[in-house]
Structure 1
């Protein structure tokens, strides 16, 4: 396959994912994984999971970060441009069209009810893939109390997610230094 076709293939794979995924970046991750690891075999599963961890740790949308890392791994900097454009372009086009059309229907009760009805489905579209990713990363389903507790702390007690992240980082470091290291000896 010549280089132009490889760039086009990268673009189309990520354009398709960007165009047909609802629920944001986390809902795209299982689709990206399926395309990149299972169908195209561009990455091994452990490489993808490492790349996903890296994509979560850098600023920006996780789906875009993942796409850029895949593109870079596959075809270097230009590959990153094609995957990045592929994942962003569908959302940009859809939001632009909605902005043009929505101003005409923003006060329509039917449209408002439709958007209210879609919210639970979007939550389910995010939660289901996260559970699958957690399983493949070796996280036990019995630890589901952690995200539920965090959600309740943010929602009910109005604790900033920044404090929860800082606490978790400090706890993780202390756990590793004092508990995990002692069990190795």
Structure 2
């Protein structure tokens, strides 16, 4: 995370402000299905094309955005924008990702009944709903493929997947937030155990 902090010490050119706005405007305009569906396009824009952050930093941003209040897409935009250009960058990125959705929903709300009755729109939404699931799956596969391959991480991932699968199948009343908190506590406990063990090994030497 040092490279993220170093961004605040760099002299940021003014041209990055419109670039942040336009990049996140594109993300907000051309992605459907909410924040998780936006991850693939956010990765493409911020990591692969603009090189504003690395993939590892994108993973940290996603974790932070998922763990804090508010939509994940807005949190990601605010975080990346702030790291690149401070408060101005955060505002530009946040407004960019929010504006398309706000404008489109505002127009739809004015003509909602007529909008839903249009057969072309209704059929288009059927295709969009099917594609959104694939987009979210693609983002998940991408993050799994690039994450650390140690046994602890893989074990937590498999147990979390199994837990969420069972929760959905049996309609258990168990929050995904609680699952994340349990995974975090488990990881911290393992970390503390390793610290204590290494400390004992050093004292024995």
The normalised TM-score by structure 2 is: 0.73
- For the pair 1:91 / 2:105, whether they are aligned, the reply is no
Distance 2:69 2:92 in 1: 20
Which residue does the alignment assign to 1:103? 113
Q: Structure 1's 116 and 155: CA in aligned 2 closer, same or farther, altered over 3 A?
A: farther
Which residue does the alignment assign to 1:147? 161
Which residue does the alignment assign to 2:77? 67
- Show structure 1 runs of 5+ residues with no match: none
- For the pair 1:159 / 2:173, whether they are aligned, the reply is yes
Which residue does the alignment assign to 2:191? 176
Asked if 2 retains the 8 angstrom alpha-carbon contact of 1:11 and 1:82, the reply is yes
Distance 1:26 1:82 in 2: 21
Q: Structure 1's 182 and 42: CA in aligned 2 closer, same or farther, altered over 3 A?
A: same
Asked if 2 retains the 8 angstrom alpha-carbon contact of 1:154 and 1:160, the reply is no
Q: Structure 1's 27 and 183: CA in aligned 2 closer, same or farther, altered over 3 A?
A: farther
Q: Superposition pairs for residues 2-41 of structure 1, below 5 Å?
A: 3=14, 5-41=15-51
- Show structure 2 runs of 5+ residues with no match: 1-11
Cα offsets for 1:93-142 (capped at 9, x unmatched):
11112222322244678765654554332222111111101211235889
Which residue does the alignment assign to 2:5? none
Bigger Cα Rg: 2
Q: Structure 1's 163 and 11: CA in aligned 2 closer, same or farther, altered over 3 A?
A: closer
Q: How many residues align?
A: 183
Residue 32 of structure 2 aligns to a residue whose secondary structure is: coil
Residue 131 of structure 1 aligns to a residue whose secondary structure is: helix
Distance 1:141 1:175 in 2: 14
